[in-house]
Amino acid sequence: MHQPVREELEDYLAGGTPPSNQFSQHLNTCAECAAEVGVLREQVRLVRALRSDEGVEPAPGFYARVLNRIEQHVQPSIWSLLRDPSLGRRIAVASAALAFVVSAYIVSTEPFRMTPSASSTVAIQQLSRQDTPATVAQDRDVVLASLASFREN
Amino acid sequence: MDGITGVLPFPASGTRPQAKTRVDHRNSEEAALVRRIQARDEFAFREIVERYQSKVFSIIFGILRNHNDAEDIAQQVFSKVYFSIGNFDFRSSLLTWIYKITVNECYDYLRKKRVRKLVYESDFSEEDALRMENSDTATDQHTPVDTALAQRDLILKLLEKISEEDRTLILLKEVEGHSVEELSRMTRMNENTIKVKLFRARQKLLKAAQRLNRSGPTQV
């Protein structure tokens, strides 16, 4: 398309201001530009057929429906998941069960400590340092003494 | 003594030529509204929806000619506006941005649902056919509905072949009826750039039509 036509093409296709003499004369003398302008006018007609009719509106309550659509797309956060009744309950029960199991394990594996009182500890240590083998009676006394003075921690 | 009129003359009668000023999309009233939406102000979002719902709806209806589809896509458009408003950079007017989203959603819908075929099937209601027959957009009153449908289908197909930017520009010019000057303000491109882009977009549509013609006969 030649320059005299290109310059005024949009104004011509818009149909507002009449084309200049230069434009009209060029179209009269240049078959190529005249053909191309003709095709473009038809193209414009087809595109303008996409114009909507007057008075086309969405049904009442459109904004509420838009909000619904938005809410459907909102990604759930971890807190909203916990607030969900069914899922939240399951997570709570699972957490409680896990806590119970862990506590039971810790309690069962912790060693049972016995701390006898200080005086009986000394007596037991003295007895154990003796070179002479303890008589059965002495052994019995040691055991009785330790049992009598036993204090659980 | 002229009194006050001698000291302060009245302004000259007649319209003052308006200076061509580029609209600053960052500092307009609408920009303030956009910033409120970006801050998740629901009232501001509602205002935008109510301001543009009719325009968006009519754009979609113009392309798809189906009320139910137009409603569905219009909801999708504003949902997208809500989630994407953080990406709006004020380089164009808000309407231009929303228009682009609207047209793109229409074309996404057309691609997914293959509506071009459905136009000839039962989805096109009798009401829609009557509306098309009585439409003012038909320049030839003797154009039968099926020819008008074929032509509309063709132009939609051709518009799909060009870029998003070109498509938006052509539609804003021809469907919405904006002048080159208005497009320049809306897009912040100068008028010569707009003219060049429009010319190239039209040429691309012509080339797309020629390719389509080579691949099969087209009835226009």
The predicted-structure confidence for B52-66, as pLDDT tens digits, reads as follows 999 999 999 999 989
Please tell me whether the interface predicted TM-score (ipTM) of this complex is above 0.95: no
In 3D, which of A57, A45, A60, A46 has the Cα closest to residue B61?
A57
Q: Identify the pLDDT of residue B30.
A: 86
CB atoms within 10 A of CB B96: 20
**Residues of chain A positioned with their CB less than 8 A from the CB of B198:** 10
Taking domain B23-128, whether its CATH number is 1.10.1740.10 is answered by yes
DSSP state, B28?
S
Which sign does the torsion angle of CA A23, A25, A26, A28 carry?
positive
- pLDDT score at A119: 54
| pLDDT tens series, chain A, 153 aa | 888 888 889 988 988 777 888 888 898 899 999 999 999 999 999 999 998 876 788 999 999 999 999 998 776 656 656 666 667 677 788 888 899 999 998 888 866 555 555 555 555 555 555 555 556 666 777 767 766 666 555
Q: Who among A16, A39, A66 is closest to B49 (CB)?
A: A66
Cβ B152–A48 below 8 Å, yes or no?
no
Residue B50, SS3?
A: helix
Summarize pLDDT for B28-53 with one digit per residue, the tens. 888 899 999 999 899 999 999 999 99
Q: Which of A149, A44, A31, A75 is CA-nearest to residue B199?
A: A44
What pLDDT, in 10s, does the model give residues B78-128? 999 999 999 998 888 999 999 999 999 999 998 887 645 555 554 555 555
In chain B, pLDDT over 70 holds for what percent of residues?
A: 71
Average pLDDT of the segment spanning B152-157? 89
Residue B121 confidence (pLDDT)? 54
Question: What is the pLDDT at residue B37?
Answer: 92
Enumerate the residues of chain A whose CB falls inside 8 A of the CB of residue B37.
Answer: none
Q: Which of residues 33-72 of B touch A (CB under 8 A)?
A: 46, 49-50, 53-54, 57-59, 61-63, 67, 70-71
Q: Report the C-alpha gap between B19 and B199 in whole angstroms.
A: 27
Q: Where in chain B is the domain with CATH 1.10.10.10?
A: 146-220
Say if residue B217's pLDDT is above 60: no
Which of the residue ranges A111-115, B146-150, B212-216 would you say has the lowest mean pLDDT? A111-115
Whether B208 and B158 have beta carbons less than 8 Å apart is answered as yes
Which CATH number is correct for B146-220, 3.90.78.10, 1.10.10.10, 3.40.1280.10, 1.10.3720.10?
1.10.10.10
Delimit the CATH 1.10.1740.10 region(s) of chain B.
Answer: 23-128
**How far is the alpha carbon of A66 from chain B, nearest alpha carbon, in Å?**
5
Task: Determine, for residues A63 and B46 on separate chains, whether the beta-carbon distance falls below 8 Å.
Answer: yes
DSSP annotation of B139 reads S
**What is the four-CA torsion angle of B180, B183, B185, B190, rounded to 10 degrees?**
-60
Q: Is the pLDDT assigned to residue B196 strictly greater than 90?
A: yes
